[in-house]
Amino acid sequence: MAPSPTEPLDFEVPEPKVSYDINVPYNSGSEEYERRIRANSEFPEYLPVWEKGLWFEDFPIFEYHDPAIRADKTKPHLLTENVKIQSITPMMGSILIGVKLETLGQEAKDELALLICERKFVVLREQADFLHSGPQFQVDFMSYFGKLSRQPVTGAIKGFPQFHIIHRDGNEEEIKNFFKHKMTTTIWHHDVSHERQPPGYIMLGILACPDIGGDTVVADTAMAYQRLSPAFQDMINKLKVNHTSRHLIAHAKASKGTVRCNPIDSVHPMVRVHPVTGEKAIYYNAEFPDEVIGLKDQEAEVITKFLLDFIRMGHDFQARVHWEKNSVVMFDGRTTLHTGTVDYDTTKQTRHLFRLAAMTEVPISVEDWEKSQKEKKEIF
């Protein structure tokens, strides 16, 4: 029998000083606040709710087939004559204008998946019809790319726990308190990397955004890996890391928040191989990893701090997504890290978006990838 979401932890947890992540939805508990934001929102049905009584068992391992593998590399169904494509940087990120997500057929979705793998993320402008298509349509659309993860603690859409809702509006006291203890709102992360099959295709849909600010910054961890020396690559290729949701769930319980599942611990390779492109990418982030298997704490601290500092400072393999009304972003969770930025006046500007995350394969280590490629050569 699953434990109750309100069951106390086995150990004492002090009440948190600040939000676990400033991008986790703000829940004021004030009816007046709730009425105000719903009256002012173009998408009130997408405002976060915390449903009681939901409980999820661990997601079972499933067989996954990536739609990008069967895509036509020339992308004739996606990049039609009416579509404009623009690069954000030479190496990563593409803006598409003229694509209507709600009309894409199977071939075009396959080609979109391939473009995301190749360019790391795709910004789709002018998606008003898709954003107004409703939660069920959007869940069905993203389910094409993989099974959708469910949110363990955060606010979601009523009846749709697959949605992670990010909402910032008028919570200046919370942010002021946050900066008493923290120096920045940025937290470089992979979405829910604690899952046994972490998300490979992730969608962000903007529902309200500041005129300026609130950008999402993306780092290419495959390019970061390429910049390392062969000796350093060889060392981290062999490492495995435990990713856990224990800290997130402990924080939610200590805050008397909603908890919908038991903590998940998953061991993933520090370097994973992309099954579509064959790229090797650093798979480590600042949110969910808590142990590098086989290393002592001080050894792990040196390596992981170096990697995260290197990625943070690597502006030549990063790109900044400027949000515009009616935009959708889809990105590859296997070869990127990302962070939101709270750099706008939350008393005057609202930032409201949803996330849907399609889980893909169990992360592939360099050793397993090389072994599989050798076996293929022997067969043929």
- What kind and span of H or E run contains 203? strand 199-208
User: How far is it, in rounded angstroms, from Cα 354 to Cα 328?
Assistant: 10
Residue 24 counted as domain residue? no
Pairing of β 121-124 and β 94-97: parallel
Strand partners, 364: 273
Strand partners, 318: 219
User: How far is it, in rounded angstroms, from Cα 94 to Cα 113?
Assistant: 13
| pLDDT, mean of residues 335-358 | 91
What local confidence, expressed as pLDDT, does residue 77 receive?
98
Pairing of β 289-292 and β 240-244: antiparallel
- Token pair listed for 73: 């590399």
Residue 5 counted as domain residue? no
pLDDT over 70 at 88, yes or no: yes
What local confidence, expressed as pLDDT, does residue 19 receive?
62
Instruction: Kindly provide the b/e burial profile for residues 94-106, where b requires at least 16 CB atoms within 10 angstroms of the residue's own CB.
Output: bbbeebebeebee
pLDDT tier, 36 (very low <50, low <70, confident <90, very high otherwise)? confident
38: left (phi over 0), alpha (psi -120 to 50) or beta: alpha
| pLDDT, mean of residues 49-75 | 93
Q: In which domain, by residue range, is 340 found? A: 31-379
What local confidence, expressed as pLDDT, does residue 16 receive?
62
Q: Which residue has the higher pLDDT, 184 or 380?
A: 184
- What kind and span of H or E run contains 207? strand 199-208
pLDDT over 80 at 27, yes or no: no
pLDDT over 50 at 54, yes or no: yes
Residue 354 counted as domain residue? yes
Alpha-carbon Rg of the chain, whole angstroms? 20
pLDDT tens per residue, range 212-264: 999 999 999 999 999 999 999 999 999 999 999 999 998 888 877 889 999 99
Residue 14 counted as domain residue? no
Residue 10 counted as domain residue? no
- Token pair listed for 68: 């990008």
Residue 18 counted as domain residue? no
pLDDT tier, 17 (very low <50, low <70, confident <90, very high otherwise)? low
What local confidence, expressed as pLDDT, does residue 14 receive?
55
Lowest model confidence (mean pLDDT) among 132-141, 167-176, 199-208, 344-353 = 167-176
**Helical H runs in the chain?**
31-40, 106-119, 128-131, 135-143, 172-181, 221-227, 230-237, 246-254, 297-313, 366-379
Instruction: Kindly provide the b/e burial profile for residues 38-60, where b requires at least 16 CB atoms within 10 angstroms of the residue's own CB.
Output: eeebebeebbbbeeeebeeeebe
pLDDT over 50 at 191, yes or no: yes
User: How far is it, in rounded angstroms, from Cα 166 to Cα 26?
Assistant: 8
Report the mean per-residue pLDDT for the chain: 90
What local confidence, expressed as pLDDT, does residue 11 receive?
45
| pLDDT, mean of residues 357-378 | 94
User: How far is it, in rounded angstroms, from Cα 151 to Cα 166?
Assistant: 12
What local confidence, expressed as pLDDT, does residue 333 receive?
98
Inter-residue contact 68 to 113 (CB < 8 Å): yes
Instruction: Kindly provide the b/e burial profile for residues 232-270, where b requires at least 16 CB atoms within 10 angstroms of the residue's own CB.
Output: ebeebbebbbbbbbbebbbbbbebebbbbbbebebebbb
User: How far is it, in rounded angstroms, from Cα 109 to Cα 37?
Assistant: 35
What local confidence, expressed as pLDDT, does residue 201 receive?
98
User: How far is it, in rounded angstroms, from Cα 280 to Cα 296?
Assistant: 25
| pLDDT, mean of residues 101-116 | 98
pLDDT over 60 at 86, yes or no: yes
CATH code at position 119:
3.60.130.10
Residue percentage of the chain with pLDDT more than 70: 91
Lowest model confidence (mean pLDDT) among 121-125, 131-135, 196-200, 338-342 = 338-342
Residue 304 counted as domain residue? yes
Residue 20 counted as domain residue? no
Q: How many domains does one find in the chain?
A: 1
pLDDT tier, 22 (very low <50, low <70, confident <90, very high otherwise)? low
Amino acid of residue 286: A
pLDDT over 50 at 3, yes or no: no
Q: What's the half-sphere exposure (Cβ side, CA atoms, 13 Å) at 363?
A: 30
Q: How far is CA 128 from CA 20, 122, 137, 145, 355, in A?
A: 32, 17, 14, 21, 16
User: How far is it, in rounded angstroms, from Cα 116 to Cα 287?
Assistant: 23
Q: How far is CA 106 from CA 50, 109, 318, in A?
A: 34, 5, 31
Question: Which string of DSSP letters, residue by residue, matches 81-120?
Answer: TT-EEEESSSSS-EEEES--GGG--HHHHHHHHHHHHHHS
